[in-house]
Amino acid sequence: MTAYSMEVIRCGTVVADGVDSLEDAEGYIEGCNPVDEVRWSDSLGGMQGGTELQKISIPDAMAVREFAEKIEVRPAEIIKWLFLCGKTVSNNSSIRFADMKEFADVYGFICERDV
């Protein structure tokens, strides 16, 4: 099972997890109605494609270099992002789960804690 992220017009981004295809994800979004007064068909207005998300398991802390290898980005991108967030790190510095999760979200990953 995979997860898909879809832009929904006038409603932001919705993540449908545990579906087998983009069509199933779209059907899930169109069919969900968590509040009776909400009419999803009126507010959706159409889907804007979809992006398959990849799930990864990461520990509570990990070196920048190791995390970069895991999500296949240059360590410099992570270091720059952390610097812009007010944190100074190097390739061998350890970063926390929350920072890794926030960074990975931008690259289409769903992070789960490694147990």
Domains and CATH numbers, the chain: 2-49 (no CATH), 55-113 (1.10.10)
Q: What is the largest CA-CA distance in the chain?
A: 52
- For the chain, how are helix, strand and coil distributed in percent, rounded to 5? 35, 30, 30
**Whole-model pTM?**
0.57
Residue 75 has pLDDT above 90, yes or no: yes
Residue 87 has pLDDT above 50, yes or no: yes
Structure tokens of 34?
């968590």
- Percentage with pLDDT > 70 across the chain: 63
- Give the pLDDT of residue 76: 93
Mean model confidence pLDDT for the chain:
74
Residue 42 has pLDDT above 50, yes or no: no
